């Protein structure tokens, strides 16, 4: 009888232990299922972060490329007083020596304070220089001066003032008269038409 009771007690203990193990396994399984549900959320958050960072890098790269491109086509106009008696004559000319073309925004040409931008009053130049063949060059708004382009603002052809000793002295007098009377202002920009990067060229170099 005693042995029978002992066997029953052992059976109950085994069943109890098995039930406890099953309970622990269920608890562990339930705990795992909560974390498993969080994994997709974490992956989605991580993917969103990676996407946002990729967009940031792309925009930063695009901005850097634009700035680089702007610098790679930066225009520059210079004034050259050419009195070397070349085959084109003597006078004042512009040289586009920047990396890219210059887009003209505004141009004003004056002679002794009188506006001659549209070449509508050249006789005052003829009288001042005592030369009757002076060619003026104007610049139209939105006009383009390409890289290395040369544009004469005021030119005296070789036939009007051929090269000789007397005319060398005469050309120096003409240059002084031009510096005294001629003035112009050019506002220009790059092909990007960025108002923040407008440039201004003035002549003469020294204020009167």
At residue 84 the predicted structure's pLDDT band, cuts being 50, 70 and 90, is: confident
Query: 3 versus 34: which is more confidently predicted?
Result: 34
Residue 199 β-bridge partners: 188
Structure tokens at 56: 């940031």
Residue position matching structure tokens 């193990």: 21
The string of pLDDT tens digits covering residues 107-134 is 999 999 899 988 766 788 888 898 888 8
- pLDDT more than 90, % of the chain: 32
The string of pLDDT tens digits covering residues 21-34 is 445 454 454 555 66
Structure tokens at 50: 């990676």
Rg (CA), the chain: 43
């Amino acid at each position: 009888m005693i042995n029978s009771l002992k066997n029953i007690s052992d059976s109950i203990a085994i069943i109890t232990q098995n039930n406890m193990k099953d309970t622990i396994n269920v608890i562990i399984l339930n705990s795992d299922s909560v974390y498993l549900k969080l994994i997709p959320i974490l992956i989605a958050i991580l993917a969103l972060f990676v996407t946002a960072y990729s967009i940031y890098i792309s925009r930063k790269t695009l901005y850097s490329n634009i700035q680089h491109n702007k610098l790679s086509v930066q225009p520059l106009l210079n004034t050259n007083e050419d009195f070397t008696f070349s085959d084109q004559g003597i006078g004042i000319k512009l040289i586009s020596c920047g990396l890219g073309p210059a887009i003209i925004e505004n141009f004003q040409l004056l002679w002794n304070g009188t506006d001659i931008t549209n070449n509508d009053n050249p006789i005052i130049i003829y009288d001042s220089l005592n030369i009757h063949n002076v060619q003026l060059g104007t610049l139209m708004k939105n006009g383009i001066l390409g890289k290395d382009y040369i544009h004469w603002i005021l030119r005296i052809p070789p036939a009007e003032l051929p090269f000789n000793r007397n005319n060398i002295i005469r050309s120096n007098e003409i240059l002084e008269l031009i510096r005294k009377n001629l003035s112009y202002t050019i506002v220009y920009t790059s092909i990007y038409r960025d108002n923040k990067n407008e440039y201004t060229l003035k002549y003469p170099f020294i204020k009167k």
